[in-house]
Amino acid sequence: MEVFISEWLNLLLRWAHLVVGVGWIGTSFYFIALDLALRKREQMTPGVQGTAWLVHGGGFYHVEKYMVAPDNLPPDLKWYQWEAYLTWVTGFALLVVQFYWNAEAYLIDPSVMDLTPVQAIAISVVSLAAGWFIYDGICRSPLGRNTTALAVCLFVLIVLSAIAYTQIYSGRGALIHVGALVGTFMAVNVFGVIIPNQKKVTAALIAGETPDPEMGRIAKQRSLHNNYLTLPVLLMMVSNHYPLLTNHPHAWLLVALVLVMGAMVRHFINRHDAGDPMASFAWTLPAGGVALLAALVLTAPSGSLSTGPAVADEVALTITQTHCAACHGASPSHEAFDEAPKGIVLETTADLRRYAPLVLAQSVHTDAMPLGNETGMTDEDRARLGAWLNAQD
Ligand code: HEC
């Protein structure tokens, strides 16, 4: 019953998280593109900084941007904030249901650090909160006045968090925490900085006062961080399906490369939206390409793991009986599972052949499975299983 409930909660939260996340990132992309599409035109309404013409869904839109609010702000001014808040709330709830609830399976790897579930969860909560205060502190420090220095600090902070998390959690647990931390920066930027500053500016304007320009500068800076972090954070969120990332011995380096790739692609899109000449920003593509190439080289299978002397069927079956069957049996004995995860039953040699590419990816080229290496599968067993799988055709 508990498994049934956690499965449904997981599914519904994931669905909700995707929907509100798409809403948040969608509006974020839209407003950045809109901002960059603004042009000064003749005969603009007084107070308007630029206008944009857009076409979508069978209609034409003419949008005007006021830097200083118009004399009369309508009462039905639409704010964009709930998408961000709900993305964080559903994301955190999902972290609880998937990673805290089954901390031993998903979060902890005793060979990395032998934590109890309570310790693992406490580290998670404290690190997410502390990470935000460090990030916010850096932005508010004198460093925050220099956009480039701040960007470098932010990059280093995220890479350091990846190094720390990979020393504490399982591969999956580590990368989802990098994603959760960056997602927290982004959501709290909206909740704690961008929206409050915007409210103060709006209130000042309504009261006929001149708003503090510092408010706008800070909000814009946080918005810029959110803009460049969007693509990397999305990859971190799906990283759990890719053991070549999560279970890489230098996963933190891959995080650094993903940050570079994501930021380069985002910069390309931004400058393209702004209508800049391609030659002025085309350098982002080779720069991102070099990062991708480095990631490909880093993750290339070594080959040595999956070759070796011939391995008998019985040996391969004993290995999977010992290390996989508790979860991947037709009726698993592991308490966290009512049925084989993802429907992948690994009981016979035919099963193993059928799922050979997946098993190689999860248990031979990486140590993603058994989950959290609960059964303590050794490199020798992985090599033997790999040799057996590679001998089948
Ligand atoms: C402690 C339980 C547990 C053990 C032991 C375990 N697995 Fe898994 N396995 C899981 C879970 C849970 C998933 C689903 C993960 C997810 O949701 O992404 C999974 C998924 C998989 C997948 C599918 C991955 C994908 O998404 O394509 C493969 C292949 C796999 N396991 C192979 C193995 C092999 C081989 C072993 C033994 C060497 C093993 N597992 C041992 C729990 C386990």
The 10s digit of each residue's pLDDT in 47-67 is 888 999 999 999 999 999 987
CA distances from 61 to 28, 39, 51, 54 (A): 18, 14, 10, 5
Q: What does R_g of the chain's alpha carbons equal in angstroms? A: 25
pLDDT-based confidence at 30, cuts 50/70/90? very high
State if residue 17 touches ligand 1 by the CB under 6 angstroms criterion.
no
CA of 343 to the centre of ligand 1 (A): 10
Mean pLDDT for the stretch of residues 88-100:
97
CA of 254 to the centre of ligand 1 (A): 23
pLDDT-based confidence at 307, cuts 50/70/90? low
State if residue 366 touches ligand 1 by the CB under 6 angstroms criterion.
no
**Ligand 1 atom index nearest CA of 319:** 38
State if residue 341 touches ligand 1 by the CB under 6 angstroms criterion.
yes
Q: What is the pLDDT of residue 27?
A: 93
CA of 1 to the centre of ligand 1 (A): 21
Q: What is the pLDDT of residues 181-191, one digit of tens each?
A: 999 999 999 99
CA distances from 108 to 81, 117, 303, 333 (A): 34, 8, 28, 20
Yes or no: say if 307 and 276 are a contact pair by the CB < 8 Å rule: no
Farthest-apart Cα atoms in the chain, separation: 83
CA of 146 to the centre of ligand 1 (A): 46
CA of 90 to the centre of ligand 1 (A): 25
Mean pLDDT for the stretch of residues 160-179:
97
CA of 196 to the centre of ligand 1 (A): 45
Yes or no: say if 100 and 107 are a contact pair by the CB < 8 Å rule: yes
> Which of 344, 345, 389, when mutated, tests ligand 1's pocket best, judged by the most ligand atoms within 8 Å of its CB?
344
Q: What is the pLDDT of residue 306?
A: 52
Nearest to 66 by CA among 54, 57, 82, 77: 77
State if residue 287 touches ligand 1 by the CB under 6 angstroms criterion.
no
- Spatial separation of the C-alpha atoms in residues 217 and 196, rounded to whole Å: 13
Mean pLDDT for the stretch of residues 62-73:
80
State if residue 364 touches ligand 1 by the CB under 6 angstroms criterion.
no
Query: Residue 85 corresponds to which amino acid?
Result: Y
Residue minimizing CA distance to atom 14 of ligand 1: 341
Answer whether residue 384 shows pLDDT above 80.
yes
Answer whether residue 284 shows pLDDT above 90.
yes
Q: What is the pLDDT of residue 304?
A: 56
Q: Which residues of 170-203 are buried (b: 16+ CB within 10 A; e: fewer)?
A: bbbbbbbbbbbbbbbbbbbbbeebbbebbeebee
Q: What is the pLDDT of residue 90?
A: 98
Residue minimizing CA distance to atom 18 of ligand 1: 241
Residue minimizing CA distance to atom 4 of ligand 1: 370
CA of 390 to the centre of ligand 1 (A): 19
Give ∠ CA 151-155-157 in degrees, rounded to 5.
115
